[in-house]
Structure 1
Amino acid sequence: MADVSHEWSEEVERVVAGLLGGERSSTLHDLADEAGLDESWVERYWQLMGLPPSSPDATEYTREDAQALADLHELEVRENLDARTIASLVRSVGHSTERLSWWHFEALVDHVVRQQGLLDPDARRAVIRAMDRLAPVLERQLVHAWRRQTTALVTRMAEEFGDAAQDTASLRSGRDLPLPRAVGFADIVAFTRMTATMAPDDLANFIQAFETRARDIVTANGGRVVKTIGDALLFIADDVVTGARVALGLAKATEDELGVPGIAGRPVRVSLVWGRVLARFGDVFGPSVNLASRLTDQAEPSTVLLDEVTAHRLASNPHFALTTLEPREVPGLGTLTPVRLDFARD
């Protein structure tokens, strides 16, 4: 048994060396020296990355680690970035890549289980053995995706903020959040009841099918998914008409289109609110986000609810029909008068 454990340790170390681009030969002190940085700066970096600290004598680091730290510090000095900005940049990379690597790993485990008929523990060992072989392609995909997503973001922002004549008086006064956006939620009806008795494989397939197909609907209608939260999906759009099309696309999707079996009729309820938001940490914040979340709770299956302000912005559009509903008390928000959104009949 000891021999098997030793062989496995050697195999894992081979995989790790492949992933890191070389042997782990430096302590934290060595790493700081190689990067030309204070140890406290280096320790803070690893903390922000969400990686566990190493003991002082452990040889955990490589020359690539030192180069990455030196590059970041050079950027910090050249661009005069303050500690808050550096912390946000490093934390964003750590948080995103932690989730991404986990997602990749679990997708590969699922593939091995299905294709090779292995039990989950055996599939995980198989994926570990393969990771250094798979990593170069996945790494290139990550860099390519970052470039394309950043290009799309820069293009959108250039179109929105390229006009120097924009009225920025309210922003200068500090009264308004910076970004006007349509914000909405799509919530699976009866999610807890449906998933309570599902086997693990069925639950995984259910969640993956919903998230994938819902994202496709949002993207096809011109919106963007911010995140999924359990049984709900948060999306945004740059204008209220696009937001309305996204919301109705989700609400009117069938069980088959969304991959949500077991519900008579359409499986989601949706909200949409126009307002200003603050974008931070890959997320959006503001009163309109909170209002959209509460409106979703008030919606019936297959319907979209708006607040009155958002409904007013769509009132003159001939492609949409609006129905004002009875006022109701909503905990934390007081009395609301929801407006149901539909496509106009031809």
Structure 2
Amino acid sequence: MAERRPTAEEIEQLLSGMPARYARHEVSARAGVSRELAERIWRALGFATLADDAVAFSDADVDALVRVRKMLDSELLDEETVIRMARALGQTTSRLAQWQAEIVIGRMLPQGDEPTAEDLGRVLRTAQKLLPDFERLLIHVWRAQLGAAGTRLLAIADLNDELVPSRVSLAVGFADLVSFTRRSRELDERELAALVEGFEARASDVVAVHGARLVKTLGDEVLFTAPTPARAAAIALDLVEAEELRIGLAYGPVLPVMGDVFGPTVNLAARLTAIAKPGTIVVDAALAEGLAGERGFVTHKLRRRPARGLGVVQPYVLRRSSL
């Protein structure tokens, strides 16, 4: 007998872990929170607003809201902080879930053919076996990343006398794949995806090796930060030796918001990337000054030039020194 194609409801229940039992008003009432707060939390987490009578919430959703209520009752967090934390959680886990699903499904389903019911059933059975281990691994990695973030904040506090300063001095780097537009026209979708994923993977590995942070990836470009000019320079040199890239580095104050970084230093690093020729690294005067006396690096002054929105800047080209 042929295997039946699983329904969307069956897939959602298997992966989410619990069956839907409650409508919107029921889940908020059971958790003891207002409907308004519950709806703000669901929106912040990235979930669509459903009809009032749609049965879409499980006992796990009730438990999550109960935990939020207890945090608020204890005054450990206020409502606006809860919403901001929910938004951070929703945006991060949405991308993570989509990415992991694409990896597993892309690995298990036949390429170019319509998946059969048997194919989908095999994927779901595999997911069911892997989920408990993935869940434990997710919690472990999150705790480890939280520890790393706390360590970075304490290191920044030593320099700025603030645990969470409004502005911090960091080295900011942009690395841009050369001729990406041309290459994207020559490759099919799968080849292009492999190119981008390979670039992001190598960049992530290099940044991690040097104890810095990959802030975000933008397809053909990555943005990273490092606590010192020397560490940023080492990352850039390793990256440019592994890929055909253009890299811009700048050092100075940045504003950290929502896991991202903003400010003139970030803009300057982006402008320097545009100045850089393929296979070269261009840095600003502050980063070049920070490398003075550091072994393994040499900078050469280029002609001054205007940078849009930033006035005239003094760029330097960065190379590895044999001394």
Q: TM-score, normalised by structure 1?
A: 0.85
Partner of 1:156: 152
Contact 1:76/1:82 (8 A) holds in 2? yes
- Please identify, of 208-217 and 182-191, the stretch whose mean Cα deviation from structure 2 is larger: 208-217
2:166–2:256 Cα contact (<8 Å) kept: no
**In structure 2, what is the equivalent of residue 39 of structure 1?**
35
Q: Given the alignment of the two structures, is residue 226 of structure 1 paired with residue 215 of structure 2, yes or no?
A: yes
| SS at structure 2 position matched to 1:269 | strand
Q: Give the secondary structure class of the aligned counterpart of 1:329.
A: strand
Cα deviation for residue 90 of structure 1 reads: 0.2
Aligned length: 318
Q: Secondary structure at the match of 1:252?
A: helix
2:289 to 312, 315, 318: 312
Distance 1:53 1:133, change over 3 A: farther
Partner of 2:133: 137
Q: Name the residue aligned to 2:113.
A: 119
Which position in structure 2 is the counterpart of 1:201? 190
Is residue 90 of structure 1 aligned with residue 86 of structure 2?
Answer: yes
In structure 2, distance between residues paired with 1:212 and 1:120:
29
CA distance in 1, matches of 2:105, 2:221: 25
Q: Relative to 1, partners in 2 of residues 1:167 and 1:103: Cα closer, same or farther, differing over 3 Å?
A: closer
CA–CA separation in structure 2 for the residues paired with 1:160 and 1:291: 22
**Distance between the aligned counterparts of 2:121 and 2:263, measured in 1?**
44
Question: Deviation at 1:97?
Answer: 0.9
Match of 1:60 among 31, 44, 56: 56
Work out which of the residue numbers 164, 169, 174 in structure 2 matches 1:180.
169
> Quick one: structure 1 residues 61 and 198, their matched pair in 2 at CA, closer, same or farther if it must change by over 3 Å?
same
* Counterpart AA for 1:311: A
* CA distance in 2 between partners of 1:198 and 1:75 (Å): 51
Identify the match of residue 20 of structure 2 among 24, 40, 43: 24
Aligned partners of 2:301 and 2:316 also within 8 Å = yes
Letter in 1 for 2:284: D
After TM superposition, give the deviation of residue 51 of structure 1 in Å: 0.5
Q: Is contact 1:178-1:278 (8 Å) kept?
A: yes
Once the two structures are superposed, residues 85-122 of structure 1 have per-residue CA deviations (whole angstroms, 9 ceiling, x without a partner) of 22210001111111111001110121014xx5562655
User: Which residue in the other structure is 1:216 paired with?
Assistant: 205
Q: Deviations over 1:239-272 (max 9, x none)?
A: 121111111111222xxxx4xxxxxxxx001111
Structure 1 equivalent of residue 263 of structure 2: 286
Deviation per CA, 1:210-240: give whole Å up to 9, x if none: 1111211222233221111121010111112
Shift of 1:319: 2.5
User: Is the Cα–Cα contact under 8 Å of residues 12 and 129 in structure 1 kept in the other structure?
Assistant: no
Aligned partners of 2:275 and 2:166: how far apart in 1?
26
Structure 1: which 5+ runs fail to align? Answer: 259-266
Gaps of 5+ in 2: none
* Aligned partner (choices 231, 248, 251) of residue 242 of structure 1: 231
Return the letter of the residue paired with 2:30.
E
User: How far 1:27 moved relative to its partner?
Assistant: 0.8
* Letter matched to residue 336 of structure 1: V
Correspondent of 2:45 among 42, 49, 72: 49
2:103 to 101, 104, 107: 107
Alpha-carbon distance change, 53 to 330 in structure 1, aligned in 2, over 3 angstroms: same
1:262 is aligned to none
Q: TM-score, normalising length from structure 2?
A: 0.90
C-alpha distance 167-190 of structure 1, shift in aligned 2 (>3 A): closer
Is the 2:236–2:247 contact (alpha carbons within 8 Å) kept by the matching residues of 1?
A: yes
Are 2:306 and 1:326 aligned? no
Give how far 1:204 is off.
Answer: 1.5
- Mapped contact 1:225–1:236 kept (Cα < 8 A): yes
2:253, 2:147 → 1: CA distance?
23
Match of 1:261 in 2: none
- Going from structure 1 to structure 2, the CA distance change for 1:36 and 1:98 (only over 3 Å counts) comes to same
Cα distance in structure 1, aligned partners of 2:43 and 2:125 = 28
Displacement after TM superposition at 1:125 (Å)? 7.0
Distance 1:85 1:117 in 2: 44
Query: How many Å apart are 1:75 and its aligned residue?
Result: 1.5
User: Structure 1 stretches (4+) deviating beyond 4 angstroms?
Assistant: 120-126
For the 8 Å contact 1:15–1:132, the answer to whether it is kept is: no
What is the identity percentage for the equivalent residue pairs of Structure 1 and Structure 2? 34
Q: Residue type of the partner of 1:333? A: L
